[in-house]
Amino acid sequence: MATEGWAPNLPVARQRLQTIGVPVVEYDPDRGRPMPFDDARFDLVMNRHESFDVPELARVLTPGGVFVSQQVGGDDMPEIFGWFGGSPVAPANELEPACAELSRVGFTVAEAATWAGIACFHDVEALVIYLALVPWAVTDDFAVGDHLDTLLDLHRQAERGQPIEVTDTRFWFRAVKPAATAS
């Protein structure tokens, strides 16, 4: 079973996962609705780069169930915002607040780590294509025509053999729901 909350991804996820027998259910945790699953339905919930609702996770996981997530850090690709304006979509999306929220609901964070690295675009075309495919990585009103000087500077940099580099940040954790207690 899989969920997808971003409308453009829903048909793609359904098409690709149906070939291996995995149904895809529409669910966006940011809408404040419950997950469309029974209580204690899953032993494991995995999440990659999607928001999550901790009380809903506690509800749908079995006692002793595990939640594993990899997230994009709130400080991801600050260079893009420096070049084109705006600010990160989820600046508070960091490991410590996520773990604290899980702990408040009773989860034990068994493992967790952060990572930072460099993503390289070898030319401006690759950067612009990326921004078109990942629109939340740049300002809502981004338009190539409005940023020609900056894009030309980046183009010249790339032509000199210096890749266009941005800082990627990620974090991950494995959290365990408390096991049922004997009455």
Q: What is the CATH number of the domain that holds 43?
A: 3.40.50.150
Nearest Cα neighbor of 68 from 177, 168, 174 is 174
Q: How far is CA 9 from CA 34, 65, 68, 136, 165, in A?
A: 20, 27, 21, 14, 27
**Looking at residue 181, what is its pLDDT?**
59
Q: Does residue 5 lie in a domain region? A: no
Q: Does residue 4 lie in a domain region? A: no
**Looking at residue 180, what is its pLDDT?**
76
- Helix (H) and strand (E) counts for the chain? 6, 6
Strand-pair category, 164-176 with 2-4: unpaired
Q: Specify the number of domains making up the chain.
A: 1
Q: Does residue 24 lie in a domain region? A: no
Q: Does residue 97 lie in a domain region? A: yes
* Spatial separation of the C-alpha atoms in residues 159 and 153, rounded to whole Å: 10
Q: Does residue 48 lie in a domain region? A: yes
Which residues are 166's β-sheet partners? 119
Q: Does residue 7 lie in a domain region? A: no
Q: Does residue 156 lie in a domain region? A: yes
Q: Under DSSP, is residue 93 helix (H, G, I), strand (E, B) or coil?
A: coil
Report the alpha-carbon angle 59-61-66, nearest 5: 135
Domain extent, residue 167, equals 34-176
List of the chain residues with pLDDT < 70:
181-183
Q: Does residue 171 lie in a domain region? A: yes
**Looking at residue 139, what is its pLDDT?**
81
Nearest Cα neighbor of 127 from 83, 74, 70, 91 is 83
